[in-house]
Amino acid sequence: MATTFRASEHQHIRYNPLQDEWVLVSAHRMKRPWQGQVEPPLLTTVPRHDPHNPLCPGATRANGEVNPHYEGTFLFDNDFPALQPDAPSPGPSDHPLFQAEAARGVCKVMCFHPWSDVTLPLMSVPEIRAVVDAWASVTEELGAQYPWVQIFENKGAMMGCSNPHPHCQVWASSFLPDVAQREERSQRAYQSQHGEPLLMEYGRQELLRKDRLVLTSEHWLVLVPFWAVWPFQTLLLPRRHVRRLPELTPAERDGAPIGSEAGANWDHWQLHAHYYPPLLRSATVRKFMVGYEMLAQAQRDLTPEQAAERLRALPEVHYRLGQKDRETAAIA
């Protein structure tokens, strides 16, 4: 007797048309008991200003430079950059199996706010708007010199970020990185075949299907992609065709959720942001990319539809604000 397929019960593979790869979905594994690593609770108290924190206003950084007493965003050159503008070329290769090419660029750090005890979700809309405007400005500036500008934030100790001060990084490179190459190639091929941007059609389809939507607004969509690899991975999309951050209107900038932005000048490209939370089951159970995922293919347990349902059910009040409310009630 044939068994009816149910995505929430039966393993299957899903295709990612944006990055041209597949992911194994094994939702039945959510039934297994967890005996793996449990992360320590999040640090709940962060000093608003620490003179020894190199990202704080007025602090001295490792290279001896002193930060200004900034009151908004603060952009500066990374003191230990992965890319430098004047690196020499490795020269021609003597064998096709040993190829190396020049890699030049710049790396910057952007502080979002002068206080260390806030994050983007806890900032006011005008403060967040200032961050988006600064992103657009640095994208315009570096994009005039380099073919790729990547804005990203490694947030929290679980992601290897040891400094709690709200900040991100901006890397501009003389080459197109691997993921950007795959996304550009896929979007170009889709536009050539179907006559419209891949992510525009994908956003329309998700609006119709609804089961992976997390948030919608007049200008933006937040959803768990059909092909998501990380359990609570989300994708941010504008609801109109926008290629790069500088093209966002004032209203779109005011309402923009924040993520790791990817934008480019090509007409087939759609501005989008990826969120990759490292969580597996809860705030203290982490997802590790090991074993099969390192050697063969990405794999996830929770289905994207189940993840989106959980995210939709979360309160809109930030957990830290909710915690303060509970503490106040307990004291009263």
Output the pLDDT for position 316: 85
Provide the b/e sequence for 23-42 (b: ≥16 CB within 10 Å). bbbebeeeeeeeeeeeeeee
Pair (247, 283) in one structural domain? yes
| Contact criterion met (CB below 8 Å) for 243 and 270 | yes
Pair (147, 50) in one structural domain? yes
Of 117, 149, 183, the residue at which a domain comes to its end is 183
Confidence of residue 87 (pLDDT cuts 50, 70, 90): very high
Pair (174, 55) in one structural domain? yes
Write down the catalytic residue from 167, 268, 272, 274. Answer: 167
Pair (283, 229) in one structural domain? yes
Annotated binding-site residues for UDP-alpha-D-glucose read: 29-32, 62, 78-79, 154, 160-162, 169, 287-288, 292-293, 299
Pair (124, 233) in one structural domain? no
Beta bridge partners of 111: 74, 167
Pair (236, 260) in one structural domain? yes
User: Lowest-pLDDT range, 131-135, 305-309, 318-322?
Assistant: 318-322
Annotated binding-site residues read: 29-32, 62, 78-79, 154, 160-162, 169, 287-288, 292-293, 299
Domain span at 255: 191-331
pLDDT at 112 over 50: yes
Pair (64, 179) in one structural domain? yes
Of 133, 166, 183, the residue at which a domain comes to its end is 183
Output the pLDDT for position 285: 80
Of 161, 183, 205, the residue at which a domain comes to its end is 183
The answer as to whether 40 is a domain residue is no
Pair (217, 326) in one structural domain? yes
CATH number of the domain bearing residue 248: 3.30.428.10
Output the pLDDT for position 284: 75
Number of domains in the chain: 2
Segment 259-279 shows an average pLDDT of 85
pLDDT at 77 over 80: yes
Give the long-range contacts of residues 70-73, CB within 8 A, separation 24 or more.
Answer: 70/111, 70/114, 71/114, 72/113, 72/114, 72/127, 72/130, 73/110, 73/111, 73/112, 73/113, 73/130, 73/131, 73/134
Catalytic: 52?
A: no
Rounded Cα gap, residues 219 and 253, in angstroms: 9
Q: What is the pTM of this model?
A: 0.91
* Per-residue tokens: 87: 């690196």
Output the pLDDT for position 34: 66
Output the pLDDT for position 141: 97
pLDDT at 259 over 80: no
Kindly report, residue by residue over 140-163, the tens digit of the pLDDT: 999 999 999 999 999 877 777 879
